[in-house]
Structure 1
Amino acid sequence: MDQSIFHDPEREEREAKFARPEYAFQFRTGMQTAKRKPVSLGKWRVLAAGEDTAKGIAELMGGTPSLKFPEKEHNFEVLTDSDSVEIVLSGPDAIEDKFMMWGPNGLPIHECDGVRSLMPDDKGELCGCTGSLKERKSKSRAGKAPGPNVVVSFRLAGLGYDLGMGRWIGTAWQFAETVHEVKDALDDVEGEALVRLEIEHREFTNDDGELVKYKVPVMTVLGSYNDAIAEER
């Protein structure tokens, strides 16, 4: 079979290198408007693979499943009624905290743990990221350095193992700066941990006397999932 002149074997090879595990659903804290303007949400938005998964999400968190992206694997969208949900994590390894920068083709051009590269071609070598956390944040916001990319893999506590694994990718600096505390708390739990994942609404008064409202994702380790189940029986 003749291949298109636009066939790009190098791209396919790179995509294969960066292939991620399959997830039944993905949590999001934002979306784009029809004019591609980003919007921060006060309730969880969930992309689900298939109608059955979407219905399960809606039953637990509210909202109505909608076939939003028919051409994609996660084709259903649920704009839930929940800003908080209990999830189950296998342990600290369920959180992968790293830094990433993306290229114009939608593929990563930099991926590291803050010290060494995680890219397939130079994995383990010094990544070149230097400076204090404040300096890195400033460079990232200026588009000159990678930003946080914290991948959390979890199950939904209210649905047991029925829906399979989900994930949420945290890119907020406020969350990234405290994720080590969450991992430390998970390390203290034997077995699976019950965790509350929420979009917390905060506000403060700036130097001009104006009230500033914003949202930040927060994870709170509640304890052992097995102990929580035992107490319900």
Structure 2
Amino acid sequence: MTQSTTVPVGSFRTGRLAEGRPQALDAWRVTTDDAEVAARIANLLGGQPQPNEGGGKLAHEVLTKVETVRLLMDGPDAVAAHMILWGSKGIIHQCDGLEFLSPEEKKGQPCGCPPVFEDRKVAAKEGRGPMPSINLTFRIAAEPALGKFHFMTSSWQMAAQLSDLTDALKRINGPAICDLTLELVAYTTKMGRGVCYQKPVVTVLGSPDTVTIEPPQVAEPTPTPAPSPLRREARLTSEPTIPSAMESIHSVSVSAALLRQAAEVLGTAGHEETVIAALSEIAAGRQQAAELFRLREQFGQITAIAGRALQGRDSALT
């Protein structure tokens, strides 16, 4: 796959630095060197232009209010992907999964990466193999004249779906309307530890002739709850993160007693399972559909779903 040589006017990001610490975000962050572009992004996607203090070399940043942005991608050439292993002096291994792309003396030779995708992940985790490096180039569908943006990620989930993405773009046979979404994933590991992270997902919708280009909808800002022990560990990566005491844009304030009562209502066996159940269709019958959708998208609203479920139980007992 090739990549356009046009210099992007800005970058989409899933995280930033806050007081020197990496921080995961619940909505897209856009950085740019152009103040006018930053102002237009804020108008389209919400948020306020501000000096970039969250990391990266570009001068301005906008912390948007949206988790989904409608894009215009110029076919499969808008997707560039390879595998990279970094060393102390720079890149020591760069390949396409089959052959070396660098260094020059090895270019075209078999790279030796495991043929099985899961084995590649294990090798990368142990520091023996490269990780994905994916670069998406696109325009914002509501205002393509603004210029090209890009999004870079090392997400293994996106790497696993790249062939489906490029095949879908090929079928459009021209510019394609797509949605780029930060999708919340929450689950409990076999060791009983709660895990949550934002997964970038690209959905190909169709050609501009068949898909209505609607301006992105600005989400309502989520009130910042009081500090609590339940927090998501903040990282810039798109991979799973283990909850810790590290600060995040959105946190969840739920007492242990409330979680125990919610577990009785939802029929769950532990705190992590209770949180996941509240975000899943298990609770669909207890809440209005629109509210449930918002709660699933905004993890910080978990208190509301648990509290209202308890109200329903208490009402039934009186």
Q: TM-score, normalised by structure 1?
A: 0.80
Deviation at 1:134, TM superposition (A): 1.2
Structure 2 unaligned blocks of 5 or more? 216-318
The 1:144/1:56 distance shift into structure 2, 3 A limit, reads same
Question: Which structure shows the higher helix fraction?
Answer: 2
The answer to whether the 8 Å contact 1:170/1:176 transfers is no
- 1:221 corresponds to: 204
1:141-180 map, 5 Å: 141-161=125-145, 163-180=146-163
Q: Are the counterparts in 2 of residues 96 and 150 from structure 1 also a CA contact under 8 Å? A: yes
Once superposed, which parts of structure 1, at least 4 consecutive aligned residues long, lie more than 4 Å away? Answer: 208-211, 229-232
1:97 aligns with 2:100: no
Name the CA distance, whole Å, in 2 between partners of 1:126 and 1:89: 31
Deviation at 1:205, TM superposition (A): 3.7
Shift of 1:139: 1.5
CA distance in 1, matches of 2:120, 2:134: 16
Tell me the secondary structure at the aligned position of residue 128 of structure 2.
coil
The CA RMSD measured in Å over matched residues stands at: 2.4
Identity %: 34
The Cα offsets for residues 187-211 of structure 1, whole Å up to 9 and x where unpaired, read as 1103100000010012224445565
The whole-number CA distance in structure 2 between the counterparts of 1:150 and 1:133 is: 16
What does residue 114 of structure 1 align with? 97
SS at match of 1:88: strand
Amino acid at match of 1:50: D
Residue 64 of structure 2 corresponds to which residue in structure 1? 80
Residue in structure 1 matched with residue 233 of structure 2 by the alignment: none
TM value normalised by structure 2: 0.60
Match of residue 39 from structure 1: 23
Code of the aligned partner of 2:8 = Y
Alignment equivalent of 1:134, drawn from 95, 113, 118: 118
CA distance in 2 between counterparts of 1:102 and 1:207 reads 31
Q: How many residues align?
A: 208
**Separation of aligned partners in 2, 1:191 and 1:202:** 32
Kindly indicate whether the alpha-carbon contact (under 8 Å) linking 2:47 and 2:65 is maintained by their aligned counterparts in 1.
yes
The residue that corresponds to 2:185 in the other structure is 202
1:191 corresponds to: 174
1:93 Cα offset (Å): 1.6
How far, CA to CA, are the matches of 1:117 and 1:156 in structure 2? 34
Paired AA for residue 171 in structure 1: S
1:184 partner SS? helix
Between the aligned partners of 1:131 and 1:111, the Cα distance in structure 2 is 16
Which structure would you say has the larger Rg?
2
Counterpart among 180, 191, 195 of residue 212 in structure 1:
195
